[in-house]
A and B are shown apart, each in its own frame.
Chain A
Amino acid sequence: MTTSTAADAAPAVSARPSLLWRDVRFTVLCALGIALFPFVLHPLGGYSTLATQIAIVSIASIGFNLLLGYAGTLSYGHAMFYGGGAYIAAILMLRAMPQHPNLWLAVGGATLGTLVMAVLVGAVTVRLYGIYFALLTLAFAQMVYFIVEQAKDWTNGDDGLQALPNALLPIGPWNLDLTTHLPAFPLGPFGDLSDLRMWYVFAGICLLLVLLLFRMLTRSQFGEVLGAIRENEQRSSLIGFNAPGYRLAAFAISGALTGFSGALRGLFDGTVPVDSLSIDRSGSFVIYTIVGGVQTLFGPVAGTAVIMWLENVLSAKTPAWRLIEGLIFVGVIVFLPRGLATVLRQQRDKNPRALFVRSLRPSTEEPDPLLKAAGEGHRGGVMSIIETFKLGKLFGHFAAVRDVDFRVDPGELRAVIGPNGAGKTTFFNLLSGTIAPSDGTINYKGRDVSRLTGTARVHQGIAKAFQTASIYPDQTVRQNCRLAALAKVQGAFALQVFRRSSRLQDVDALAERAMARLELTGVADVRAGDLSHGDKKRLDIAIALATQPQILLLDEPVAGMSKDEARKTEGLIRRLATEMTVLVIEHDMEMVMGISDSITVLHQGTVLATGTPEQIRNNPRVQEAYLGGHSQAELAG
């Protein structure tokens, strides 16, 4: 393609050096920070033991933050991974290798063990949401706690495992004893280098690696999708992302990181107390992360450092230290709602004054090759693209939709109308897969898709735009469309934790096309939440379009728009209909009569009539339905 679009502003070669420089700079700064930390801590009353513990526990907080801040899911049971990791490592040390304690094996085994645990627990819990998810993780953690407490032969019960052997770290020909001190080197008020043991160096390196890993993860394709799911799960599912799958992956990674941290802590302390599995421990991760700042890379680290330091310093001076911790925590939640808002997925647009920015680009008249390829089976195609047989949906005893036989040919623009209680939105939800039918079947291109999930249907080519625009308010318009395109290109799930989505050229191209079709290129870089109502509705359609659908379901696309916006959007929809099949639910009769090839009238859940606009106009039964069951004649007399 040679026509100009933003996709040509290629980031490819020229940008890479600057990205690399930023990565190097980041690594160096982190390393420096970690290296200096214990010495900064020294005059503040901390010791190297505390510094090492902070470094280790920070890893768990970072892991926890992946779940809370990035996946938007609160777990109240992470102690099962932290304590679990510690116990596994300790038990491996004591039983599997008492003569030759090997740190790699102990920690590696623990991390693997907690990963498996997280996958098993996650598989079961991710089906639930919000508070039910939190309570279920709490339940599992409590079970683990009590089982461990009781399995005294293995775990020593309430006393915990103690006097663990010194772990050796085999590196090449050497066996490093991590408890050795560093060489002496006085640093004035900051203590002496020999205050530190090799443990801190090891923990610091681990922390650095985790920070780098995390940074990469959150910017990766995987991280991008995870963030989208957190911001708007409904939309993410209906552009084709497997939301439960992503949440499970996040849970598993989070659990493994926490387990890794717990293992390190246990081996460093030389003891594993049973509290490492307690509710308080689970709660502590919540506190560290929230106080430090969710959704930030360093927040959890800062939070861990501050709280643990406070505990250490204050516990010597006053018994009120935990109270202070609690007050800080409550204070952060109550007074810093903005920080919390993004965690807790509040999607209300904060800015009621919309920016009325109009698109500046004139739209092209030629049909788009990319879209054309998607819209196979034009007018005149033999087979209906969607066909339903006796489709029905019961809500309790109420039949919202019943006995619907519906057919639409490829390339048609079909309007679905009907008076109150007709079942139009329910019908659309059945077609898109948002709800499952109670009776009947839905055939798409000849195949029965009745049992297919909404996410799967998107990948088949059925896309929907919502009655209330469902978008990603904190992302730009372009990014909104890119996400939809990404779902199409990568599939429902991709564990691309290392690479970014920007390497996928198709994604950018699809997004640009979609924006252009809906005349949104002029606002491509505007934050979606700041758009006018009309633009948001069009963005919703663009998002659906970016998944390269063959059939587009539009639920009240012009509702709430001004006359002008409605007419403009109408025109855009009419042009879209030349490339693909479009089904529209609308109440704006002027629009319906103006652009439809054909109309289906639903009434009380069933099909009343199908025909051209003229036919529908002249159908007395349709008029009767709209008038509440009375004929025109009755009215006059």
Chain B
Amino acid sequence: MEAFFEALLGGLVLGLIYVAIAVGLTIIFGTLRLVNFAHGAFYAIGAYVGLVIAQRIGVGWAFIAAPIAVALFAVLLDRLVLRQFYDKEPTAQLLVTFGIALVVEETLRLIFGATTQQYQMPDALQGSVSLGFFTYPAYRLLFAGGVILMLALVWLFIERTNYGLIVRAGIRDRVMVQLLGGNIRQASTIVFALGAAIAGLVGAAATPIYSIDPATGFAFLVPSFVVVVVGGLGSFWGAVLGGLLIGELQSLTNLAYAPASNVVIYLCMALVLLLRPQGLLGESEVIRQ
């Protein structure tokens, strides 16, 4: 029983990481029509920046520096390389972002080495919390709460601010936004930076739980793509639903029959692509190129 609840909460934590990455992926796709295979790099850069700052200065600063650093990197990447690929076919985007992911991963490996690293949370946050009949690490709960809060803020931004209004309208009809004088390009850049920052922040925050090595970014990215496919490309709630679903599926399968835990998520992805390619909450326009 205890193991079950642990797995459930573990699935939630894992799922929330997927949600954070997937939300970034999906809103970037919605506004920019860009398939970003380099999104895992944002996670990884955030994690390493967080690591360095946490070890040198302090954990609190890490959570501020990481998203800012990643956002800056994202904007630079956009200006220098990705801009030319917005109108190209998704497979071209997949290829170039895959290449960028590779370059980033290797650069991180050169700088930080291949070993897995971690930093410790301050003592106050270590230790476990009692949840009735079992205990659970305090930081993980805090992490989960923090990610939920962050997602709520993102949701508020998209749903309740003027900028978010332009973003949402742009996801549906870029041209009409421009015909109304809206600056879709600026909104798109902001969305890109935001999506990256989310991944970076989560990267920094998740390191005490999952550790970081240069391959971690990509390791989280691939299941996040599964999430995006399952939830539906372009759908915020799809990313949320998909992320939690995949996270729990992975965690619970690991408990029930460990060898299948990775296979099952790809099976899920394959089934969705075959039976309902637009995903659970997505729209059926993007299937044919």
A residues neighboring B (CB under 8 Å): 74, 76, 124, 127-132, 134-136, 138-140, 142-143, 146-147, 150, 279, 283, 286, 290, 319-320, 322-323, 325-327, 329-330, 333-334, 340, 344-346
Contact = CB atoms under 8 A, between A and B. Distances in A.
B96 A323 contact: no
Contacts of A130: 89-91, 288-289
Given A130-B289, A136-B273, A344-B88, A326 B102 contact: yes
A129 B289 contact: yes
Contact of A143 (B35, B96, B102, B263): B263
B130 interface: no
A422 to B, nearest CB: 24
A553 B27 CA distance: 42
8 contacts: A134-B94, A139-B273, A142-B222, A142-B262, A143-B270, A146-B259, A326-B103, A330-B103
Interface in B57-102: 81, 84, 88-92, 94-96, 98-100, 102
B226 interface: yes
* Majority secondary structure of chain B interface residues (helix, strand, loop or mixed): helix
A139 B266 contact: yes
Contact of B92 (A124, A143, A340): A340
A132 B273 contact: yes
B267 interface: yes
* Majority secondary structure of chain A interface residues (helix, strand, loop or mixed): helix
Contacts of A146: 259, 262-263, 266
A254 to B, nearest CB: 16
A129 B289 CA distance: 7
B266 A142 contact: yes
Interface residues of B, number: 40
A283 B98 CA distance: 9
B269 interface: yes
Given A74-B94, A139-B266, A326 B106 contact: yes
B131 interface: no
Contacts of A124: 274
B84 A334 contact: yes
B103 A323 contact: yes
Interface in B94-131: 94-96, 98-100, 102-103, 105-107, 109-110
A161 B51 CA distance: 37
Contacts of B94: 74, 76, 131, 134
Given A327-B103, A329-B102, 9 more contacts: A76-B94, A127-B274, A135-B229, A279-B222, A286-B95, A325-B102, A326-B103, A330-B96, A340-B92
Interface string B34-45: 010000000000
A140 to B, nearest CB: 6
Nearest to A124: B274
Interface of B: 35, 81, 84, 88-92, 94-96, 98-100, 102-103, 105-107, 109-110, 218, 222, 225-226, 229, 259-260, 262-263, 266-267, 269-270, 273-274, 277, 287-289
Nearest to B98: A283
B98 A286 contact: yes
Contacts of A323: 103, 106-107, 109-110
Nearest 8 CB-CB pairs, A to B? A150-B259, A323-B106, A326-B102, A330-B99, A326-B103, A131-B90, A130-B289, A146-B262
Contacts of B218: 279
B106 A138 contact: no
A344 B92 contact: yes
Contacts of A320: 106, 110
Contacts of A134: 91, 94
Contacts of B267: 139, 143
Nearest to B81: A334
A135 B89 contact: no
Nearest to B93: A131
Given A142-B222, A146-B263, A128 B91 contact: no
Nearest to A290: B95
A577 B259 CA distance: 67
Given A135-B229, A319-B109, A140 B92 contact: no
Contact of A283 (B35, B102, B259): B102
Nearest to A328: B99
B96 A139 contact: no
A325 B105 CA distance: 12
A347 to B, nearest CB: 10
Contacts of A345: 89
A130 B90 CA distance: 7
A565 B74 CA distance: 51
Nearest to B263: A146
Contacts of B262: 142, 146
Nearest to A131: B90
Contact of B273 (A128, A286, A330, A340): A128
Contacts of A279: 218, 222
B109 A129 contact: no
A290 B92 CA distance: 11
A146 B266 CA distance: 10
Nearest to A329: B99
Contacts of B270: 136, 139-140, 143
B269 to A, nearest CB: 4
A396 to B, nearest CB: 11
B98 A344 contact: no
Contacts of A142: 222, 262-263, 266
Contacts of B263: 142-143, 146-147, 150
A333 B229 contact: no
A135 B98 contact: no
Contacts of B288: 129-130
A150 B264 CA distance: 13
A135 B269 contact: yes
A333 B287 contact: no
Contacts of A326: 99, 102-103, 105-106
A330 B100 contact: yes
Contact of B106 (A131, A132, A322): A322
B49 to A, nearest CB: 19
Contact of A333 (B89, B96, B105, B260): B96
